[in-house]
Chain A
Amino acid sequence: METKRTPVRRTTINLLIDGAMFLAFLVATAPHLSGLAIHEWLSLALGAALITHLLLHWNWIVQVARRFFGKASWTARLNYLLNSLLFIAFATIIVTGIMISEVALPFIGISIARDDFWLGLHRMASDATIVILGLHIALHWSWLVNTTRRLFARSTRKAGRSGATQPATSQESTL
């Protein structure tokens, strides 16, 4: 009866990667919780995950870039701008983080003289990222809700025979 419209596995992978990145980001914003070593290494790994994330959405990036000044919806344009900002902010955090690194860089034998300018930028970019990330999530809210719902609906269907599952439709937009 159910036909799968989207490649479910890929969507699930996307959701899991995004979720993991979000959690890692939350931890990264709290170096007091993790300590500096975990803060630095985890954030560097987050940088690698970010590149993967970009590659997974590469088709979208290329397509919207082509249509940006042509016929694209305002949502797609806003989305594109926001994602570009998010990328810039993230890149800034990682670069400035490396400049003030006290664990990762010394570990590979590099030590840079401490400059508070980088620390200021690190904090600023981190604060900006929180705002941009909030908007990013808000824009993708329906995707997030629908995909999560579909994922849970599938697993409950698999787990038991309780047939009362409602597959979420992609038209259901929450925002």
Chain B
Amino acid sequence: MKLITRILLILAAGLLVAATLFGLSQSPTMSQLIEAKAHEDHGERGALPEQTVEGSHEEGEGNFASRPGRGMRGRPEGESGEGGGHGNWEPSLAGFTNVGVTLLKIGAIIAIFALVTRLWKMRQRKQPAAGGSA
């Protein structure tokens, strides 16, 4: 058990590093990011609807560079109508907002839980337990 845990730990760590490196190597280059930005601007002129067709983007298919033609824009509720950009899966620092929002949500849940537990404990202290669990 101990050994297998250790082996798995090493495997998981290795996979994590490999995955991150691979992900980084797959992520778009600066020039692709600039190009993506150009697509965003393009979006304001109504070019996005055409891109909803999978693989129709002129850069071809199968690699990350062709991504602007796929992804969220294919969905009816996609945000493409707002002029593009949001449905884009190119890495963007604006995505930090999502991390912040998630952190806020988790923080709020922890705070509410703490509050409820504290109130519960106060109630318990007021009326001594009439048997049952600890």
Selected from B16, B23, B86, B91, the residue in CB contact (under 8 A) with A33 is B91
Contact B106–A74 (Cβ < 8 Å)? no
For the complex, would chain A's binding face be called helix, strand, loop or mixed by DSSP majority? helix
Interface: A131 (CB within 8 A): yes
Interface: B39 (CB within 8 A): no
Chain B 1-37 against A: per-residue CB contact (8 Å), 1 yes, 0 no? 1001100110110011011101110111000000000
Kindly state the separation between the CA atoms of A133 and B26 in the bound complex, as whole angstroms: 29
Q: How far is the CB of B109 from chain A (nearest CB, A)?
A: 3
Interface: B67 (CB within 8 A): yes
Q: Which of A24, A29, A36, A39 has the most CB of B within 10 A?
A: A36
Contact B114–A137 (Cβ < 8 Å)? no
Kindly state the separation between the CA atoms of A40 and B23 in the bound complex, as whole angstroms: 8
Kindly state the separation between the CA atoms of A30 and B92 in the bound complex, as whole angstroms: 10
Selected from B15, B27, B74, B114, the residue in CB contact (under 8 A) with A37 is B27
Kindly state the separation between the CA atoms of A134 and B11 in the bound complex, as whole angstroms: 27
Contact B113–A52 (Cβ < 8 Å)? no
Q: Please give, as numbers and ranges, the residues of chain B lying within 8 Å of A38 by CB-CB distance.
A: 20, 23-24, 26-27, 91
Contact B12–A45 (Cβ < 8 Å)? yes
Contact B62–A34 (Cβ < 8 Å)? no
Interface: B49 (CB within 8 A): no
Interface: A160 (CB within 8 A): no
Contact A131–B109 (Cβ < 8 Å)? yes
Contacts A37-B23, A134-B105 given; does A32 touch B95 at CB 8 Å:
yes
Interface: B38 (CB within 8 A): no
List B residues 66-108 near A (Cβ within 8 Å).
Answer: 67, 70-71, 74-75, 86, 88-96, 98-99, 102-103, 105-108
Selected from A31, A44, A55, A131, the residue in CB contact (under 8 A) with B19 is A44
Interface: A1 (CB within 8 A): no
Q: Please give, as numbers and ranges, the residues of chain A lying within 8 Å of B88 by CB-CB distance.
A: 32
28 residue pairs of the A-B complex, CB under 8 angstroms, read: A29-B99, A30-B98, A31-B89, A32-B88, A33-B99, A37-B26, A37-B27, A38-B91, A39-B89, A41-B19, A41-B20, A44-B15, A45-B18, A45-B20, A48-B8, A51-B8, A58-B1, A102-B70, A102-B71, A103-B64, A119-B75, A134-B113, A135-B109, A135-B113, A137-B106, A141-B114, A174-B114, A175-B114
Q: Apart from A37-B26, A74-B133, what are 13 other A-B pairs with CB-CB below 8 Å? A: A17-B9, A26-B102, A26-B103, A30-B102, A41-B22, A42-B20, A42-B23, A45-B20, A52-B5, A55-B1, A56-B9, A102-B70, A103-B26
A residues engaging B (CB < 8 A)? 13, 17, 20, 24, 26-27, 29-42, 44-45, 48-49, 51-52, 55-56, 58, 73-74, 102-103, 106, 114, 116, 119, 130-131, 133-135, 137-139, 141, 174-175
